[in-house]
């Protein structure tokens, strides 16, 4: 089975939540950004990563707005389930922007990154410009979608589409280039469900959009 959940922000107690008990050996858990366990390289953080690496299911995450991109990008990239990824540990995978992976027979498009709403309160040492997707990453996403006939089974992003933000009344004045890509995906691509994590709520926005935070939801 493949499950998806919202931002974890380096909180190991999230993996003790009763909802996590549904995960079995060989399952995959996808986190919708702000993984947060790759932040400062501390002894405590390394211990947490070892505990996650000891799980008997795969933890795959897209990046969000609260990641240390200097550390994250130090891991080498390789092909994983059809897309480029960073392998932190054999069962701990960073799903990169604009990639399409085939997991349990389903095609999953991923796109991390976004805009920090708390940017003005963060210093140069805990904010990275690379949180915002580049034009090159967006064009790679367009190319990869075209190669798959603009058809995937699921879309997983950190930011929601701008139209969904407007519907939720969340962060309505902030627009970055990737929002134009997301609106184009809504119009031009076929997909069953779209999951995102940034808003820190658990809510279904009919008919295809799912904001996730604490819920651990099966893809199908």
> Is residue 16 pLDDT above 80, yes or no?
yes
Helices 177-188 and 135-147 cross at an angle (nearest 10°) of: 10
Closest among 33, 156, 27, 216 to 104, alpha carbons compared = 27
What pLDDT does 124 receive?
Answer: 67
pTM above the 0.85 mark? yes
Helix or strand holding residue 1 (H, E): none
What pLDDT does 167 receive?
Answer: 83
How open is the CA angle 16-66-197, to the nearest 5 degrees?
Answer: 60
Q: pLDDT digits over 138-151, tens only? A: 999 999 999 999 99
What pLDDT does 165 receive?
Answer: 85
CA dihedral 69, 75, 79, 81 (to 10 degrees): -70
Q: pLDDT digits over 192-215, tens only? A: 999 999 999 999 999 899 999 999
Closest among 178, 176, 205, 177 to 193, alpha carbons compared = 205
* pLDDT band of 120, cuts 50, 70, 90: low
């Amino acid at each position: 089975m493949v499950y998806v959940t919202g931002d974890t922000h380096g909180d190991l107690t999230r993996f003790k939540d009763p909802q996590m008990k549904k995960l079995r050996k060989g399952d995959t858990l996808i986190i919708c950004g702000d993984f947060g366990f790759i932040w400062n390289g501390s002894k405590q953080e390394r211990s947490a990563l070892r505990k996650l690496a000891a799980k008997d299911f795969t933890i795959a995450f897209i990046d969000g707005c609260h990641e240390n991109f200097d550390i994250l990008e130090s891991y080498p990239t390789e092909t994983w389930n059809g897309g480029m990824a960073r392998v932190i540990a054999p069962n701990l995978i960073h799903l990169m922007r604009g990639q399409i992976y085939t997991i349990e027979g389903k095609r999953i498009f991923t796109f991390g990154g976004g805009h920090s709403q708390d940017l003005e309160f963060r210093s140069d040492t805990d904010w990275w410009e690379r949180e915002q997707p580049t034009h090159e990453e967006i064009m790679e996403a367009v190319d990869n979608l075209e190669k798959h006939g603009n058809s995937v089974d699921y879309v997983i992003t950190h930011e929601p589409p701008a139209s969904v933000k407007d519907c939720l009344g969340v962060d309505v004045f902030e627009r970055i280039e990737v929002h134009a890509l997301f609106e184009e995906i809504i119009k031009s691509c076929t997909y069953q469900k779209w999951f995102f994590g940034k808003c820190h709520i658990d809510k279904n926005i009919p008919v295809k959009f799912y904001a996730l935070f604490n819920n651990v939801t099966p893809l199908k």
